[in-house]
Amino acid sequence: MTQRALAGGAVVAALVVSAWLTVVHPVRTVLPTPVPAADAGQVQALNAALDEAFPGAYEVEAAEYLDDVDGEGMVTALLPGGFAEITWSDREQFTVQFTPTRHGEGVHTYEIPDVSRPSRTARDAKLVATRYATRYAPWALRASQVTVRAVDDPSGAGWVVEWRRWRGEVLMPMRLDIGVEPSGRLTDLRVRRVDDPALPQAHVGEAQAWETFARHFRISVAVEEQEQAVLQAERRGGHWRIHWRLSAREGGMRHSAVVDATDGSIHSANSESVPQTTGPRG
């Protein structure tokens, strides 16, 4: 039975900021400006993506369209106990999130027909997610690597199964993330379907990228904490580039930026305060 839902502006906008901007769309730096309603074609596109992922389960009657100053857009709508969104007009990225059952707000997660089963271990969750992905997104399983990580919430909250593809040391842009709760039901779906792009040659190594990073922020390379550098393909200015994605903590600040691995230029530089960690009191 199809579950219908109407979009709710404030709730959807909050979910978009918390889920999409930080996970699926990490290079976006300008918060989108809401436009009252999506048009019929945009609603149809979102419903088509929902029907492909969850055949016959959900249909939205209205949605919102969020557009930022770079001309990138997102169609987003509420679902029973969750939300769905798709980028517009490329339809390249699709995200669905449901409230986990452990929150005690009812059962809103998706039971995968003939697949969901109790998942008490990471291996169980991987099996459920793989069976679903084989049916829904076989393209993501080809020549990719799969990892399983526990949800950051309390122990036993569930798992996220992730597929990524690498070309040598470069992380390609395709993404498939499936969240599975202990019941075996689906809590999250994050998809980026894009072919491996043609890329320029990389001439800037990790050490040189860190030097550029340090000069920009006027800090020592030997900062308190450097997160692992990631070399990945990202679209910038309408063109695919290879970027070093870097992040480091210095005192109460966390600095982040990307360094172009071809020409050494730095982009998306940002600094933000972070809570100080203190040891136990004596």
- pTM comes to 0.82
Ordered structural domains, the chain, with CATH: 1-96 (no CATH), 99-196 (3.30.505), 206-273 (3.10.450)
159-213, pLDDT tens digit by residue? 999 999 999 999 999 999 999 999 999 999 999 999 999 999 999 999 999 999 9
214-263, pLDDT tens digit by residue? 999 998 866 568 899 999 999 998 899 999 999 999 888 999 999 999 99
Q: Exposed, middle or buried: residue 206 (CB in 10 Å: 0-12, 13-18, 19+)?
A: middle
- Please tell me the distance from the alpha carbon of residue 180 to that of residue 273, in angstroms, as a whole number: 33
Token pair belonging to 64: 């919102």
Contacts 24+ apart (CB under 8 A), 232-238: 232/170, 232/171, 232/172, 232/173, 233/167, 233/170, 233/171, 233/172, 233/173, 233/196, 233/197, 233/199, 234/27, 234/173, 234/258, 235/27, 235/173, 235/197, 236/27, 236/260, 236/267
Whether cis (ω within 30° of 0) applies to the bond prior to 89 is yes
